[in-house]
Structure 1
Amino acid sequence: MTCAPLLKFAWVDGADRALGLPSYETTGAAGADLRVNLDPTDRAAGITLAPMARALIPTGLRLAIPEGFEVQIRPRSGLALKHGISLPNTPGTIDSDYRGPLGIIVINLGEADFLIAHGDRIAQMIVAPVLQARFELVGSLDETDRGAGGFGSTGRG
């Protein structure tokens, strides 16, 4: 196994530090769970998300990702299946040079209001390596069997 990259975290002013850092809930988990960390004035009531509404949900954290890596933010499957809660920009990417607050864009695709409570596990983060490509403009591209076929050209769909 390779050496795991070290992500460094800092608390946002007013964050509830008792919620702790993101955590892997099982030994085989690919994603570390992120918790809702609301402002003190919103903690008791939470945030109610109406059907088809979106909100930026705070985690109370800022992070430093090592160069050569990114963090991907993904929905939690249980919230998606049971309540229709998802992330509209899935996966969301956090670049290694970003140092601002970590917020999660959440959308309610369900049919009922959904209460987002302080401390809820709202999303998961995956740490992944990143390669930056080089770009070159050419006069023509090599030919393939598929060619320009897209959107279902290789089968049903």
Structure 2
Amino acid sequence: MQVKVLRLQKNIKLPQYQHNGDSCVDLINAGEDISIKPLSRHLIPTGLKVSIPDGYELQVRPRSGLAIKKGITVLNTPGTIDSGYRGEICVIIYNSSNETVEIKTGERVAQMALCKVEKISWEEVDDLDITVRSEGGFGSTGTHG
């Protein structure tokens, strides 16, 4: 699907799929090198603005390599970019480790997927259908197989 994109810096490469079958493209740090202290967060600019078609959203998600190697994750996972938003895409990253983490300019910090959005049409009822699960949640099935 074609999505209009505006690069805020012409030297920034457009996000690309790294492999056939990938569902996400990578987002980079388009700002300066930064140091993120332990247990703190930082807003990372990507240098991109987009025009998402109606009926779709972009979801910003963590990269598994950064999570396991450096303890870096996207704080509000998934981050939602609505179709009406026209500002710069930024990523709120969080350092969950006990060490300061360096993020260099151009380093891939998150990934992004284009997702279809369905609108909810509420039907108010007096009762809901019965299921096996019923109201069980929050660990109700136990922790071991």
Q: Which residue number corresponds to residue 135 of structure 1?
A: 122
Q: Which residue number corresponds to residue 28 of structure 1?
A: 21
Pick the aligned partner of 1:11 from 7, 21, 34: 7
The whole-number CA distance in structure 2 between the counterparts of 1:132 and 1:84 is 35
Correspondence 1:8-157 to 2 at 5 A: 8-12=4-8, 15=9, 17-38=10-31, 43=32, 46-156=33-143
**TM-score w.r.t. structure 2 length?**
0.93
The whole-number CA distance in structure 2 between the counterparts of 1:153 and 1:36 is 41
- How far apart are residue 131 of structure 1 and its match? 0.7
- How far apart are residue 48 of structure 1 and its match? 0.5
Aligned-residue Cα RMSD (Å) equals 1.3
Q: Secondary structure of 1:37's match? A: coil
Q: For 2:5, give the aligned amino acid.
A: F
The whole-number CA distance in structure 2 between the counterparts of 1:134 and 1:93 is 21
Q: For 1:147, give the aligned amino acid.
A: S
Q: Secondary structure of 1:82's match? A: helix
Q: Secondary structure of 2:47's match? A: strand
Identity of aligned residues (%): 44
**TM-score w.r.t. structure 1 length?**
0.86
The whole-number CA distance in structure 2 between the counterparts of 1:156 and 1:146 is 16
The whole-number CA distance in structure 2 between the counterparts of 1:85 and 1:153 is 30
Q: For 1:64, give the aligned amino acid.
A: S
8 Å contact 2:12–2:47 — kept in the other structure? no
Q: For 2:132, give the aligned amino acid.
A: D
Unaligned runs of 5+ in 2: none
Which sits farther off after the overlay, 147-156 or 51-60? 147-156
8 Å contact 2:59–2:79 — kept in the other structure? yes
